Structure 1
Amino acid sequence: MTMTNELLRYFRAKEKERASETAAATQCPFCSVQCTLQLVEERIVERRRYKAVPTDNPTSNGRLCLKGMNAHQHALHPERLLFPLAKVDGRFVRVSWEEALSLIVERIISIQKEDGVDAFAVYGGGSLTNEEAYLLGKFARVALKTRHIDYNGRFCMSAAAAAMNDAFGLDRGLTNPLSDIPLAQTIILAGTNVAECQPTLMPYFYEAKKNGAFIIVVDPRETKTAALADLHLPLKPGTDTALAVGIGKVLLDEGYIDEAFVCERTVGFTEWKQHIEAVKMDEIARVTDVPAEKIRLAARKYGEAADAIVLTARGLEQQADGYAAVRHWMNVVLATGKIGRPGSGFGSITGQGNGQGGREHGQKADQLPGYRSIEHPEHRRYIANIWGISPDELPRKGVSAYEMMQKIGAGEITGLLVMGSNPVVSSPNAAFVAKALQKLKFLVVADMFLSETAELADLVLPVSSYLEDEGTVTNVEGRVCFRPAARKRPGEVKHDWEILCAIAHKLGKGRYFSFTSAEEIFNELRLASRGGKADYYGVTYERLRRERVYWPCPDAHHPGTPRLFTERFAHPDGKARFAVLPFRPEKEETDEWYPLYLTTGRVLAHYLSGTQTRRSPALSARQPEAVVEIHPRTAKRYGIGPGMLVRIETRRGAAVVRSRYNDQIREDTIFVPFHWSGLQQINNVTSDELDPHCRMPAFKRCAARVRPVVDLGRN
């Protein structure tokens, strides 16, 4: 028996009467674009439905990608941690917050008494808000008095940050606003796959193409970004420094140098020129495996352009000589004077949601708030005064994120607080990291989920999601952005900053951590940053509720700084520095046992260690497992068919993923995304060689071999 149309209409009308809809403003928690949206909650009788509706903002102009559309799914996931968990006899049991905090303080005191104050370390994350990043740095140095603090942003921006500080005197991801991209006549994208990592930025490049821009992409494989290019340079993995040197050689030899700019605004050109003059183009072509004529074409297109932009990212930076590669691209920019004006500049596209703000305000081992140096006497005095302590009480600099793991493995660090990170999946040579963490006397993890790192913890603390945690982040352009809380916290969940304040109070340091809101923390951050390179003093919550503000912004009447270095660089003499850095091949080369280059990266549907995106049904369905992209000819050489399970081995271990043919990748190279754990965890096999300048691990190249395994998914 079927219902009549009249009955259907009647029940639909009744359903609408019982339905309600609410909308709350928030922004995507994932990449550095920080797209804004409204989360609409529709209640129909007993059911709730959610949808993300993009809203306008000056960075992504009302766009939202696949991840942003579905971010709420992880925040509302039934696996969310709702109360503290302590490990008892190998199993997690529920404990009260009072019990959890008492245990933390008891273990901190005992470990520091037994092993020294630096034996307890702090490991942060690039997704924490500015307020929480700032407070984590203060907590480590004031409450714990440890020198050992670093964060997963070390794996994101450290090469570019160190290079920009040394070359320009200031590190901000982009030296010019994104709106400059359509003004450029030539754009070089070196080691960046914007189409999958920051897809809402792609219209800037489409508009540039429409305006006649010549786009050059440097990448070992033809990504979705490379498909946009007029010229694709598929170099051998790990040879980006040599390629940048070759570009500089052509510019010098063919007369594209802006001599007036070089003379007036830089130092070190003569030494760079002498170094470049000795370079042989046939050697550059041999090392990079890119034909010399293609390198010359790229250099000429850049040199001829009245305005041009160079953008780098992790593909170039996550190498053992990533710092040198970035510095050589900066040499190219400085030699031609293409910086500090509309349509011309340099930028490193930040990966993490708050990778920029996270390092500006104290999570890095050597930095204090405002991008001050922890080793600089005046900087120490200024921050100590803000914090109400003596400069002598501030610890000195510690070590980088991976070096902290090495110290844990060696027994020098015996206690660890992890907040906003999952190093068991995100670290290089991650199998070593997992073993090292199991040696700790005490591991406490603050997370939304029982991540792979949290599973190893003695205590897990439930924290708020992006929907519940009010605060600020600093996006890819250097704009400070306010993110309101869109929902109430579930269960016994606390904000990261609340947890830090609570622990500090129990340690007897409560007078330094008497905050009752994120805004109070931000106001102290403003004071701490005042007069520093990353000056936020002129930024307030009231202002941020109206606009996104570029830093530096030294006072309330300052408009912010969209474009850097228009008249001078940030070094005391106002001049930028050329660098002479020889091409230094990575230690690990291919051989007869490991004949292929393995490189890693991201895919559109997932983000970092996958802790959040793998818990989104929509995103997980889009790409449920890791794959190895392999050229068909290479695959056939090793007996690997499409869709087969493949065992990838390096000198550190093995991973098993499914094959995907890609005839646009180099035949000597395989690519695997790093968002999965378990057998699919590719970071178990990546290289832990570190860049000597910035301690960035060499994620993007190591020697590997492949072979098929039994495909359990086939008959």
Structure 2
Amino acid sequence: MTPTAAPVAPTTPAATDTHCPYCSLQCGMRLAPVGPAGSAPAGPPVEVLERPDFPVNRGALCGKGRTAPALLARGARLTGPLLRDRPGGPLRSASWPEALDRVAAGLARVRDEHGPDAVGVFGGGGLTNEKAYLLGKFARVVLGTANIDYNGRFCMSSAAAAHRRAFGLDRGLPFPLADLPHTGCLVLVGGNPAETMPPAVRYLRELRENGGTLIVVDPRRTRTAELADLHLQPRPGGDLALALGLLHLVIADGLLDQDFIAERTSGFAAARESAMAHWPDRVERITGVPVHQLRMAARMFGEAATGMVLTARGAEQHSKGTDTVGAWINLCLATGKSGRPYSGYGCLTGQGNGQGGREHGQKADQLPGYRSIEDPAARAHVAAVWGVPAASLPGPGVSAYELLDGLGRPGGVKALLLAGSNPAVSAPNAGQITERLRALDLLVVADLVLSETARLADVVLPVTQWAEEDGTTTNLEGRVILRRRALDPPDGVRGELWLLRELAARLGVPDGFPAEAEQAFEELRRASAGGDADYAGISYARIAAEDGVFWPCPAEGHPGTPRLFLDRYATPDGRARFAEVTHRPAAEEPDEDYPLYLTTGRVLAQYQSGAQTRRVAELNAAAPGPYVELHPRLAQRLGVADGEPLAVTSRRGRAVAPARITEAIRPDTVFMPFHWAGAGRANSLTNPALDPVSRMPEFKLCAVRVERVHREAGT
């Protein structure tokens, strides 16, 4: 009798170590397939497991990270190209050849009729380094256009400009996050990591457990501010005056590090003169922060043996954001808290690849390696890697908001390729930008979901997600990390690298656009070599073996650079430069018609424009819609109850959302989160006034009036 063979159990593929697709922490995670090999689960095809060995988050994940696979499920995302046959007509399904032919023909027609600068490219801070690099190359080599920028301009461009002005080099944090718990005093200005990057909060808790002090500067008493030893609550737009006032007190109290100033800095005399014009009573009048709190903060920071200042969007998204960051850097330099262990200035980057996204060429004024596009030597180096004449590369284009505001106008961009961004929700003065998008001859959007911007497009190209592709990103520490492909994308979905290769070939450039991420990264290494952001010594193998590699890393034998500026700064003379800055009003201050400040920000369960997180049931349940946060005194004056709809109106638009009454906000200020489209779109209100250096719009402050909706209706 023949024995019956035992059934063979289906094999389960191995788990894949990778990283979260959301914020700049780029937390390590492990993805495990759901079900046996070959199965097709109804829900997400992978589940998230902890990865405690990755040093940034040590296994911790927030709700966004835990639920990230939800968009990988069938029915949750785009699975084939869409075309619009006529203006105003519906989007219909199309094949990839038809869609790519339509895009290539449209780009070529506009370029031939109106010149290369009539074609534009708009990227995103969530794109991998490889995508950002090849997007910049595509714009300059294939299209020949100067008009490329990305939504990271709206993220940390002011901090980047101030960093380069002071230190000669911009990297979000010049030290690892692991250094934070060991500093003596940490000042966090305009940041709320308890909601924007929760796994980082453990560093703040460890700081206090180690005996350090935490000062939080924010107009709202946020979850992060509740952790602080001291919370300073200035009016929106007061951060520049506040920093100058603290430097004034540090000088007056004899807390300067004269040896450090003499040996490692330049320009202190002008900075001192400006600070002395910002005496405590004046700063209290400007900011609303009481003098006794100013004195307390100056002593806490000035007397600490080591100290750090970290800024985020609350301090940076202003028409004076570069000067504001410069003033906080001045405070670090004057007290000797820079270029030393457990001391320094840093910026909490927002988007997942906000750091790497601006280093390799998708920014209007930069070439790979964080090189200036106006530097002849930089142009020659990159052109040689690309195999084109240096003279063929265009010059600098306009910044993100200027590019978007010029869409469809005479002399502006008429055809736009947009990848990884949703400006119909996220841009300032978003109503105006939506109209500009509609005015284009051709709008092409590459995205994984049908975002509000994609709904306006003539062609929508569905692209792969983080778990379906290999690629590198660079987190807020300057740590280059590796995302690994854990599963195959749906049949109708393609990666952006493949997309750029196919379009380049149709537009007459058949070579130079590899579809494999590691090949693209190898070219990026060569293009970045010798630049400020030098990746020449970084490889996929090294990243995997070392839990990431810190740039600059100019050679394979180089250890990488976790801590910058310990020996010298990246300026020509090796010295840090004080900024000569003084307080000035915001571009728009409250007045009789618009008597209140509006400030905007994020909430724990949503991310950026919400295009992804608003499609995740668990996150949507936790934060289902917009709201207007206001103080009880203001609510009483308006006669409004909690939950009642409020209309918020600025000179640019109107938004309606329910009231949320709380003592955590100043009585002269209202707050709205910016994750939603429709009637509650906060960026219908925001001011596009630009910082003269960074070209950052003034997202964080505009003048508004607030009214009960039913009173307006006469009921």
**TM class by smaller structure:** over 0.9
1:417 aligned counterpart, secondary structure: strand
Cα deviation for residue 342 of structure 1 reads 2.1
Kindly indicate whether the alpha-carbon contact (under 8 Å) linking 2:424 and 2:434 is maintained by their aligned counterparts in 1: yes
Contact 2:241–2:278 at 8 Å: present in 1 too? Answer: no
Residues 201-350 of structure 1 aligned to structure 2 (within 5 Å): 201-350=200-349
Name the residue aligned to 1:440: 440
Q: Which residue number corresponds to residue 392 of structure 1?
A: 391
Deviation at 1:511, TM superposition (A): 2.0
Q: 1:26–1:484: 8 Å Cα contact kept in structure 2?
A: yes
Aligned residue number for residue 43 of structure 1: 35
Post-superposition CA distance 1:318-355 (Å, at most 9, x none): 01111110000001111111112221111100000000
Report the equivalent of 2:63. 66
State how far apart, in whole Å, the 1-side matches of 2:363 and 2:212 are: 38
TM-score normalised over the length of structure 1: 0.95
Contact 1:644-1:658 within 8 A present in 2 as well:
yes
Matched, 1:26 2:18: yes
How far the C-alpha of 1:410 sits from its partner, in A, is 2.5
Q: How far off is 1:705 after superposition?
A: 1.2
- AA aligned to 1:81 is L
> Counterparts of 1:687 and 1:316 in 2: how far apart (Å)?
15
Please give the root-mean-square deviation of Cα atoms over the aligned residues, in Å: 1.7
Aligned to 2:681: 681
Provide the C-alpha distance between the structure 1 equivalents of 2:121 and 2:41, rounded to a whole number of angstroms. Answer: 42
Q: Partners of 2:274 and 2:631 in 1: how far apart? A: 37
Question: In the TM superposition, what is the alpha-carbon distance from 1:176 to its structure 2 partner?
Answer: 1.1
- State the secondary structure of the residue aligned to 2:656: strand
Unaligned runs of 5+ residues in structure 2 are 1-7
For 2:5, the equivalent position in structure 1 comes to: none
Q: How many Å separate the matches in 1 of 2:278 and 2:59?
A: 47
TM-superposed CA distance for 1:174, in Å, is: 0.4
Give the drift of 1:275: 2.2
Counterparts of 2:114 and 2:636 in 1: how far apart (Å)?
55
Deviation per residue, 1:178-227 (Å, 9 max, x gap): 11111111110000101011110111110110111111000000000000
Deviations 1:262-317 (A, max 9, x none): 11111111121222223332111100011122111111110100011110000000
Which residue pairs with 1:699 in the alignment? Answer: 699
Matches within 5 A, 1:35-184: 35-43=27-35, 50-55=46-51, 56-76=53-73, 78-89=75-86, 90-184=89-183
Give every structure 1 segment of 4 or more consecutive aligned residues whose post-TM-superposition deviation is greater than 4 Å: 16-22, 44-50
Structure 2 equivalent of residue 8 of structure 1? none
- C-alpha deviation, 1:17, in angstroms: 7.6
Q: Is the 8 A contact 1:42 1:48 kept in 2?
A: no
What are the within-5 Å matches in structure 2 for residues 299-698 of structure 1? Answer: 299-411=298-410, 412-513=412-513, 515-547=514-546, 548-698=548-698
CA drift of 1:101 comes to 1.3
2:42 and 2:73 in contact (8 A); partners too:
no
The 1-side partners of 2:498 and 2:394 are apart by: 24
The question of whether the paired residues in 2 share the 8 Å contact of 1:126 and 1:420 is answered with yes
Under a length normalisation based on structure 2, what TM-score does the superposition of the two structures give? 0.95
| Aligned partner of residue 655 in structure 2, secondary structure | strand
Alignment gaps of 5+ in structure 1: 1-15
Which one-letter code corresponds to 1:464 in the other structure? Answer: T
Shift of residue 75, structure 1, vs aligned partner: 2.6
Q: Is the 8 A contact 1:176 1:346 kept in 2?
A: no
Distance 1:498 1:516 in 2: 5
How far apart, in 1, do the equivalents of 2:293 and 2:456 lie?
A: 50
Q: Is the 8 A contact 1:645 1:708 kept in 2?
A: yes
3-state SS, counterpart of residue 319 of structure 1: coil
- The residue type equivalent to 1:689 in the other structure is A
Decide whether the 8 Å contact of 2:255 with 2:302 is kept in 1: yes
1:338-374 per-residue CA deviation (whole Å, 9 max, x = no partner) reads 1122211111000000000000001110000000000
Question: In structure 2, what is the Cα distance between the partners aligned to 1:206 and 1:18?
Answer: 45
Contact 2:533 2:552 in 1 (8 A): yes
Q: Is the partner of 1:435 in helix, strand or coil?
A: helix
Which amino acid in the other structure matches residue 108 of structure 1? L
CA contact (8 A) 2:501 2:515 kept: no
Q: Residues of 1 paired with 2:522 and 2:240: CA distance?
A: 42
Higher mean C-alpha displacement, 353-362 vs 515-524? 515-524
Name the aligned partner's letter for residue 278 of structure 1. Answer: A
Name the residue aligned to 1:3. none
Counterpart Cα distance in 2 of 1:248 and 1:374: 36
Give a deviation string over 1:452-479, Cα, whole Å, max 9, x none: 1111111000100111021000001110
AA at the equivalent of 1:64: L
SS of the residue 1:467 aligns to? helix
Kindly provide the CA deviation profile for residues 584-620 of structure 1, in whole angstroms up to 9, marking residues without a partner as x.
2112111122111100000110110000000111111
Aligned residue identity for 1:492: G
Give, in whole Å, the separation in 2 of the partners of 1:336 and 1:94.
62
Instruction: Count residues in correspondence.
Output: 697
CA contact (8 A) 1:21 1:43 kept: no
1:53-101 CA-to-partner distances (Å, cap 9, x unmatched) read: 1203011111111110001112325141111110124111111111111
| 1:7 paired residue number | none
Displacement of 1:23 after TM fit? 3.1
Give, in angstroms, the shift of residue 650 of structure 1: 0.8
- Give the partner amino acid of 1:586: A
Amino acid at match of 1:197: T
* AA aligned opposite 2:218: D
> Which range moves more in the overlay, 479-488 or 263-272?
263-272
**Residue identity in the other structure for 2:70:** Q
Look up the SS of the partner of 1:553 in the other structure: coil
* 3-state SS of paired residue (2:156): helix
How many angstroms does 1:48 deviate by? 5.2
